[in-house]
Chain A
Amino acid sequence: MMNRRMSSRSVSLTSTFLLLAAGGAAACDSGNRYHDEGFYCADANGVIVDESFCDANRHYGGTHGYYIYHSPSYRAGYPIGSRLPTGGSRFAYNDTASRTSFGLPSTGKIGNGTIKTSVVGKGGGGTSTSHTSHKSGG
């Protein structure tokens, strides 16, 4: 009777797999190259304001103290008026170089709660606003 037809004799796993299972970084997740970064428009105190305040295409008289805050720990859906969790970074709303480096539009409005998946991914263009889980299998 051929048992191997029906049942594996041993199921040993390579160290690559076991390390992944143990929470080790996948090859493509190494370092900070791939993570979700959340973005919000907020004032100097980190209180979320309407995203139009960070619209670099809108001309306000003089300078105003609004910033694009970002952090991998930000999640989508924080309401306007709430204070962002500590630990994020920020850059001026009209800092085109910083916007570009995150794959965001260099000018204009950035939706509060935008999540950039693979900040440097998708062949360079970056995908945006994908905070739903994207399951490819079935």
Chain B
Amino acid sequence: MRRIPYGPVREGWKLTNYSLGLTYNDTELPDGTMISYWQEGPYYDFTAAEIEELETATSTLNAMCIEAGDWMVRQCPRHTVQGRRDGYFASVCNASTCFLAKIGVPEFAHEQIIRTWFDGDAETWTHYDKDPDMRLPMETPDYSPSVYGRFDLWYDGAGSTPKLLEYNAQTPTSLVESAVIQWHWADQTNLTRHPWRQWNSIHDRLVGWEAADGEPADPGAWRRNIDRLRDARTWLPEKPKIFFAYETSETTGEDRMNVAYLMATAEEAGYPVELIAMSQIGWDVSGDRVLFVPAPGKEHKAEPIDVIFMLYPWEWFWAEEGGKAFFRNMADPTKHGTVWIEPPYKAALLGNKAILPVLWDLFGDDPERGRYLLPAYFADSAKAASLTSYAKKPVWGREGGSVTLVRDGVTITDNPSEYGADGRYVVQQLCELPSFDGLEGTVHPVIGSWLIDGEPAGMGIREGLGVDGLITKDRCFFVPHTIEADG
């Protein structure tokens, strides 16, 4: 792993990137200066062995996260039919009885988090689990599609071991940059003769491919997931319409283009799609349905939403007005409730930073798998005090918000934000990002390692500048990479 500070600068690169979807490149800092999010010129270069190491780490981390999720759902009383019976009219989940309550997940959401977690497994969450009195005709298990996620890894090249910093499981962004912009950069700059060129199969893994050159065909993440959903919900049409929702109050265009790109891959995979605003998701009170409402007053033009992807954190969603109703709709034992991509477990179990202490507790002693982890504890636990150099992070936090880095008891950098207001934090042993010399000063890369449909799919590198850049935030740069570039 090396950083080349003086790479080629493509003529008209800004316009090229823009036309490929990077419409949110220019970032205004609080002091009014503009920075370019995409860095043209510098790039990172990896050996094939390093890429394979990152790929193995990503697979292994994903497997560990699945075991950690299994452990987490078993710590909720609603995991059992009896627990759900007891909890039908009474509250049975609180911080002392239920791990999900302890980490801040509202009780009304627990059942659907557990259900979506077990969906697709014929043994663990059957019709009987949803309808214990068997009042309705028997149904086969449901399925909850999930297409993507991103691990943020520490890595310093050959001789070091990738370490999990956190898992952006539900709403990872920088997808356009990773999948599209840097791929075209590699295509245009042509810096390497290695057949892999760049670790980046995100696009192909989303849309699938035909068999060619001795490689078998692959249906891709969308078709694989929607096919499985249709197996579970046989009433869905062959090509169900997939809605894609984003929050329009995010005005830079980043959310919009990330969602639009995912939508474009679903479209390429053959599905009818529509891009909508979060505010156009409506609730039909009398019909208990989720609807696409083009505008208030246009309810007669509303359309039921069978399948929807939303780039909107579940932990915001379930605290809002419609939250409870949408979870009740999801609980329909006849499987006619709206299907949400990514499922709620992505935020509640995997994207929640509470997974970091759970992983360490389960695998910290495992010599093979534990090496990809850093010691982590709940901030209010006794063991947390054993760490004198640590990163303190809110369990619900994004873009590095409210993260504090402490070295030998002294704060080296922090990033105050509204996150963490609920007081739930974890601490993770400090593992400062590696340093490289850049033209602007010392830079610190973090590896964003993508999962598409549960498989490692490539990487995007974000780079922070100086001590402030040790916490990766919104204003950190995106820097492309190659595999075994010449020279």
- Enumerate A95-138 residues with CB–CB distance to B below 8 Å: 117-118, 120-124, 127, 130, 133-138
B203 and A11 form a contact (CB under 8 A): yes
Is A5 part of the contact surface with B, judged by Cβ < 8 Å? yes
B296 / chain A contacts, CB cutoff of 8 Å: 120-121, 123-124
B198 / chain A contacts, CB cutoff of 8 Å: 7
A123 and B277 form a contact (CB under 8 A): no
A10 / chain B contacts, CB cutoff of 8 Å: 203
**Which B-chain residue is minimally distant from A30 (CB atoms)?**
B294
A17 / chain B contacts, CB cutoff of 8 Å: 21, 260-261, 263-264
B204 and A8 form a contact (CB under 8 A): yes
A123 and B279 form a contact (CB under 8 A): yes
The 8 Å CB contact of B23, one of A21, A122, A135, is A21
A120 and B197 form a contact (CB under 8 A): no
Q: How far is the CA of A34 from the CA of B180 in the complex (A)?
A: 28
Is B249 part of the contact surface with A, judged by Cβ < 8 Å? yes
Is B183 part of the contact surface with A, judged by Cβ < 8 Å? yes
CB distance from B458 to the nearest CB of A (A): 8
A127 / chain B contacts, CB cutoff of 8 Å: 249, 279
**Which B-chain residue is minimally distant from A35 (CB atoms)?**
B248
- Enumerate A5-51 residues with CB–CB distance to B below 8 Å: 5-14, 16-18, 20-23, 26-29, 33-34, 36
CB distance from A14 to the nearest CB of B (A): 4
Question: Given contacts A133-B249, A135-B250, A135-B474, is CB(A123)–CB(B203) below 8 Å?
Answer: no
B201 and A135 form a contact (CB under 8 A): no
**Which B-chain residue is minimally distant from A132 (CB atoms)?**
B249
A36 / chain B contacts, CB cutoff of 8 Å: 251
CB distance from B250 to the nearest CB of A (A): 5
Interface string of B239-257 (1 = CB under 8 A from A): 0000000111111101111
B204 / chain A contacts, CB cutoff of 8 Å: 4, 8-9
Is B184 part of the contact surface with A, judged by Cβ < 8 Å? yes
B282 and A7 form a contact (CB under 8 A): no
**Which B-chain residue is minimally distant from A2 (CB atoms)?**
B215
**Which B-chain residue is minimally distant from A135 (CB atoms)?**
B250
B196 and A7 form a contact (CB under 8 A): yes
Is A63 part of the contact surface with B, judged by Cβ < 8 Å? no
Is B63 part of the contact surface with A, judged by Cβ < 8 Å? no
A138 and B173 form a contact (CB under 8 A): yes
Question: Given contacts A136-B313, A138-B172, is CB(A16)–CB(B264) below 8 Å?
Answer: yes
Q: How far is the CA of A133 from the CA of B268 in the complex (A)?
A: 31
Q: How far is the CA of A27 from the CA of B260 in the complex (A)?
A: 10
Is B227 part of the contact surface with A, judged by Cβ < 8 Å? no
CB distance from B340 to the nearest CB of A (A): 14
Q: How far is the CA of A77 from the CA of B296 in the complex (A)?
A: 29
Question: Given contacts A14-B268, A21-B19, A134-B250, is CB(A123)–CB(B293) below 8 Å?
Answer: yes
Is B274 part of the contact surface with A, judged by Cβ < 8 Å? yes
Contact residues of B: prevailing secondary structure: mixed
The 8 Å CB contact of B256, one of A11, A26, A124, A133, is A26
A27 and B257 form a contact (CB under 8 A): no
Interface string of B272-305 (1 = CB under 8 A from A): 0111110111110000000001111100000000
A21 and B20 form a contact (CB under 8 A): yes
Interface string of B187-220 (1 = CB under 8 A from A): 0000000011111111111000100000100100
A8 and B279 form a contact (CB under 8 A): no
B18 / chain A contacts, CB cutoff of 8 Å: 21
- Enumerate B154-179 residues with CB–CB distance to A below 8 Å: 168, 171-173, 179
Is B468 part of the contact surface with A, judged by Cβ < 8 Å? no
B295 and A120 form a contact (CB under 8 A): yes
Question: Given contacts A121-B277, A123-B296, A137-B173, is CB(A13)–CB(B180) below 8 Å?
Answer: yes
A8 and B215 form a contact (CB under 8 A): no
CB distance from A10 to the nearest CB of B (A): 8
Q: How far is the CA of A123 from the CA of B293 in the complex (A)?
A: 8
Question: Given contacts A34-B248, A135-B398, is CB(A26)–CB(B275) below 8 Å?
Answer: yes
**Which A-chain residue is minimally distant from B312 (CB atoms)?**
A136
Is B311 part of the contact surface with A, judged by Cβ < 8 Å? yes
B274 / chain A contacts, CB cutoff of 8 Å: 27
* Contacts beyond the supplied A121-B248, A137-B258: 9 A-B pairs with Cβ under 8 Å: A1-B195, A7-B196, A8-B200, A13-B20, A16-B264, A26-B260, A27-B276, A121-B280, A137-B173
Some 24 contacts from A to B, beta carbons below 8 A apart, are A4-B215, A6-B200, A6-B458, A7-B195, A8-B205, A9-B209, A12-B268, A16-B275, A17-B260, A21-B19, A28-B248, A118-B279, A120-B295, A120-B296, A121-B279, A123-B279, A133-B249, A133-B252, A134-B247, A135-B254, A136-B247, A136-B316, A137-B258, A138-B168
